[in-house]
Amino acid sequence: MTATSSGTDQLLRPHAEQAYATELARLATVDDRPRPTNWKLSPWAVVTYLVGGTLPDGFEVSTKYVGNRRLIEVAVATLATDRALLLLGVPGTAKSWVSEHLAAAISGDSTLLVQGTAGTPEEAVRYGWNYARLLAEGPSTAALVASPIMTAMAEGRIARLEELTRIPSDVQDALITVLSEKTLPIPELNTEVQAERGFNLIATANDRDRGVNELSSALRRRFNTVVLPLPDSYEDEVRIVAGRVADLGRSLELPPADRAADEIRRVVTIFRELRSGVTTDGRTSLKSPSGTLSTAEAISVITNGIALATHFGDGTLRAADVAAGIVGSVVKDPVADQVVWKEYLEAVVRQRPDWKDFYRASREVSG
């Protein structure tokens, strides 16, 4: 279906279960702990896949989620119960990333996905019809178009629902029966789909733009919520950015840029200082800009910088390649954020002797 003649290396973005097929297979061979019905791995192995570790045979499992192991344990334990999992957090805290890897590790399939938007119809949560067949034959199983959630129920797999709070409330409510009765009635055929063991749902929601469509309390009660925080420490955040930049660089066919590590440290420093409203040395307090300055944005600032350095520079990532990206992330509101950025530039950046290159480059882009 998705595989090409040359396998997955031609794909711009392979699914987690494709990209990490070797790790998943190695984990499955050493995993001798009990697996819930229809789970490909035991809960212990799923957590190891997410947080990384060394297997008894010496094989290294890479770290997908950098952060508190306990959060991942709670998430995995939840999925082994009859309650669904809600991953909540500010933008760019790896909610979608964790959801994809959990589904890949538990069901071997992260593709049973519903993307929540203001226009998500009920069919995306329940089922729709192939209208040509429906008109020709009337309602029949063959004319039914199952939603990813219906498929997950029938096959005992994990379904994913992105951006739950963007979905209109009446459509959200269609989930209540699914989650509490574990069944999806199909009145047109006078039948129902009952969930197999192994079925569960991982939803993600952003607590920044929560206001869109609040979760009803009836629905909220059916979820265990795990809040994914911004990275605790500077070192963790540098590690996340460096790791993802290396992965993305490979799939975008960008060569590893020289000196990327220095620019990564600088971007993370700037983002953390502006987010927390104080410089690293604790001496200068700062105003915070309106944007989130998420880890995800730091990753894209560096990746864009590497593309600039590769295609228009000499392959060395320099301040000038990241300056425009940083200013773009910080200045979301052209008036208020511009003031915040100018102050930071003069009061902090200018005072750091080894940041002269960056000060000059930023002055050029912010005018």
Ligand X SMILES: Nc1ncnc2c1ncn2[C@@H]1O[C@H](COP(=O)(O)OP(=O)(O)OP(=O)(O)O)[C@@H](O)[C@H]1O
**Would you tell me which residues interact with ligand X (CB under 6 A)?**
65-67, 89, 91-97, 204, 206, 231, 240, 244, 295-296, 299
Closest distance to ligand X from the beta carbon of 116 (Å)? 10
151 binds, among Mg ion, ligand X, none (CB under 5 to 8 A by kind): none
CA dihedral 238, 241, 242, 246 (to 10 degrees): 180
Nearer of residues 202 and 322 to ligand X, judged by Cβ: 202
Helix, strand or coil for residue 116? Answer: coil
Nearer of residues 96 and 140 to Mg ion, judged by Cβ: 96
222 binds, among ligand X, Mg ion, none (CB under 5 to 8 A by kind): none
Nearer of residues 116 and 198 to Mg ion, judged by Cβ: 116
92 binds, among Mg ion, ligand X, none (CB under 5 to 8 A by kind): ligand X
DSSP class of 14: -
Nearer of residues 148 and 198 to Mg ion, judged by Cβ: 148
96 binds Mg ion (CB under 5 A): yes
Where do we find the tokens 């959630």? 149
Closest distance to ligand X from the beta carbon of 68 (Å)? 9
292 binds, among ligand X, Mg ion, none (CB under 5 to 8 A by kind): none
How would you class 114 by CB atoms within 10 Å of its CB: exposed for 0-12, middle for 13-18, buried for 19 or more?
buried
18 binds Mg ion (CB under 5 A): no
Among candidates 86, 91, 94, 8, which has minimal Cα distance to 51?
94
219 binds, among Mg ion, ligand X, none (CB under 5 to 8 A by kind): none
Closest distance to Mg ion from the beta carbon of 163 (Å)? 7
97 binds, among Mg ion, ligand X, none (CB under 5 to 8 A by kind): ligand X
How would you class 56 by CB atoms within 10 Å of its CB: exposed for 0-12, middle for 13-18, buried for 19 or more?
exposed
- 85 Rama sector, left if φ>0, alpha if ψ -120 to 50, beta otherwise: beta
Closest distance to Mg ion from the beta carbon of 3 (Å)? 26
Interatomic CA distance for residues 315 and 90, integer angstroms: 34
Nearer of residues 35 and 244 to ligand X, judged by Cβ: 244
Query: Which residue has its beta carbon closest to Mg ion?
Result: 96
Interatomic CA distance for residues 16 and 105, integer angstroms: 9
Sign of CA dihedral 139, 142, 148, 153: positive
Where do we find the tokens 């045979």? 57
End-to-end, the C-alpha distance of the chain in Å comes to 50
Closest distance to ligand X from the beta carbon of 293 (Å)? 12
Closest distance to ligand X from the beta carbon of 270 (Å)? 17
Nearer of residues 96 and 366 to Mg ion, judged by Cβ: 96
Contact 94, 211 (CB under 8 A): no
Span near Mg ion by CB under 5 A; candidates 42-50, 96-104, 284-292, 330-338: 96-104
CA dihedral 238, 239, 244, 246 (to 10 degrees): 100
Nearer of residues 63 and 96 to Mg ion, judged by Cβ: 96
Nearer of residues 65 and 127 to ligand X, judged by Cβ: 65
Nearest 5°: the CA angle 77, 82, 88 is 60
Span near Mg ion by CB under 5 A; candidates 95-103, 113-121, 242-250, 304-312: 95-103
Closest distance to ligand X from the beta carbon of 281 (Å)? 25
Closest distance to ligand X from the beta carbon of 115 (Å)? 10
CB neighbourhood size of 336 (10 A): 13
Contact residues for Mg ion (CB under 5 A)? Answer: 96
